[in-house]
Amino acid sequence: MNILIVQLVPPSHAPDRPRFCHELGLAVAMLRRRNLEVALVAMSDYDRDRLRSAVTRHRPSHILMDVPPHRHTLARHTIVEIAERHYLPVILVGRYATSQPEQAISIPGVTALIRGEYDQALPRLTAALATSDLSPAEVPGVWFNSEEGLVRNVPDKPTADLDTLPHPDRDIFDYGRTVSAEHEAAFRATRGCLNWCAHCLNDWYIELYGRDGYLRRRSVDHLLAEISAVVERYQGIQGIVFEDHAFATDAEWLARFAEEYPRRCGLPFRCRVCLNAVGQHTAELLARAGCRQVDVQIGSGSNFIREEVLTLRTSHNQILNGVSSMKRAGLAVRGMVFIGVPYESEVSVEETLDLVTALKLDEVVPRIFFPIAGTRAAEVCAENGWISGRGEECFYVPRSVLEMPSLPAERIDEIFHRFHALLRSRSGHSLAAWWRRIRKLATQPLHTFGRSRRRQRPRGHQ
């Protein structure tokens, strides 16, 4: 059985360079354990010639796609073309298949999909499709279009011991090109997330598996063994990035990591940190391990939007204290904020600017909010009739697709493009801010200057 993976990469990505994906790499490793032939073709848009060339070269029996939820329109067009021109059945996995299974299984050409984590179910499904010993309808987590109708199977519990899984396959992603372009190697220490953010699809996985035992962590030794193997295999790696949100949430594990990582690897790394789960001890452990930068999600300066709309569950004080702890530990802090979230207004934008200015972050990354189908935030937008006719291409442009009475799309786009200029004006680094200070001083009564100087004299000075 031969499988061809069709990967939809971002438009800004090199159109022919695959993008490393931990889940997909793990699935490929599991399939190759069973001696299946697996190949991959990357496309930033539908490319008929590139797809035909890949099909001719690899002669697959099935197509596998892990569809990004914000590219389901492109995916649908691609799948229909595959079915009509190449007569190949398509298997869908990933977040789109998990959160929108009814829509996904109805696409002409889709023979099956897997809901939830697919590293265990995919090898079983391919074995069932290749032989008559097992029916695809018997594989947990699989939705299958059978002759008797649509079969909807509940998934098994996810793999509890992550150390029993192989390291993700990176060769299929032509990972040497990724290292040459980015000079970093990406890893994950955990699987699962216990946060319930409204703009994320994680709640679908929590509903499938429950909260107990869903967040799992690799041992330090297992993680470092993968890092050592990757650094040795791919030349030119200058830094490491840990992409999981829960990387630094276990203090005992992090203490062990801080002891072993500098000795066994030593490359500088960056990671994500949850501001509602970080203190001075965690920050110091990260610094001791070799962390140089942390990425934090601030979301919004508005408490209502951050805690009620986005349900980030991170308070104003937790943000201030968390960033302060990391800066005291010598870590650079890069923060992400949304522009144009549901119920955004000029007032909430001002609150975001105020908070970001007070934090004095080393880098700020503004993002225009995009309502990903299947998220609770997207449901709020749809219920209020805020989603315009603009398509999923706005996710990458970026442009807002929301027309809200409190903040129209045109104004959201303007704020996004001027965000750093607005920050500079508040921080006093812009020419306009400098001129305003000069004008303020010019209108200040002369006698106040003397008072100001006298107040600054040391106490007791005559």
State the CATH class of domain 183-417.
Answer: alpha beta
> What span, in angstroms and rounded, lies between the C-alpha atoms of 443 and 445?
6
Tell me the domain boundaries of the chain: 2-152, 183-417
Give me the architecture of the 2-152 domain, per CATH: 3-Layer(aba) Sandwich (3.40)
pTM of the model: 0.88
> What span, in angstroms and rounded, lies between the C-alpha atoms of 267 and 262?
8
- Whose tokens are 């539908």? That residue is 46
- Whose tokens are 């008929």? That residue is 48
- Whose tokens are 């225009």? That residue is 368
Burial environment of residue 408 by CB neighbours within 10 A (0 to 12, 13 to 18, 19 or more): middle
- Same-fold call for 2-152 versus 183-417: no
Strand 184-187 vs strand 37-43: parallel, antiparallel, or unpaired? unpaired
Helix (H) or strand (E) segment spanning residue 437: helix 431-442
CA 328 to chain CA centroid, nearest Å: 27
Q: How many helices (H) and strands (E) does the chain have?
A: 19, 15
> What span, in angstroms and rounded, lies between the C-alpha atoms of 191 and 46?
31
> What span, in angstroms and rounded, lies between the C-alpha atoms of 161 and 164?
6
Q: To 10 degrees, the CA torsion angle through 201, 206, 207, 209?
A: 130
Structure tokens at 319: 């943000």
Cα–Cα nearest to 191, from 115, 242, 126: 242
Q: In order along the chain (462 residues), what is the average pLDDT of each group of 10 residues?
A: 94 83 96 95 92 95 94 92 94 96 95 95 93 83 89 94 97 96 97 92 93 95 98 97 95 97 96 93 97 97 96 94 97 97 96 96 96 94 91 88 95 96 78 55 51 39 39
DSSP 159-228: PS-GGGSPPPP-GGGTHHHHHHHHSEEEE-SEE------TTSSHHHHHHHH-STTTSEE--HHHHHHHHH
What local confidence, expressed as pLDDT, does residue 28 receive? 97
Q: Long-range contacts for 57-60 (Cβ within 8 Å, ≥24 apart)?
A: 58/2, 58/4, 59/2, 60/2, 60/3, 60/4, 60/88
Task: Give me the amino acid identity at 64.
Answer: L
Cα–Cα nearest to 377, from 116, 203, 244, 206: 203
Strand 269-272 vs strand 291-299: parallel, antiparallel, or unpaired? parallel
Under DSSP, the state recorded for 404 is: B
Task: Give me the amino acid identity at 306.
Answer: R
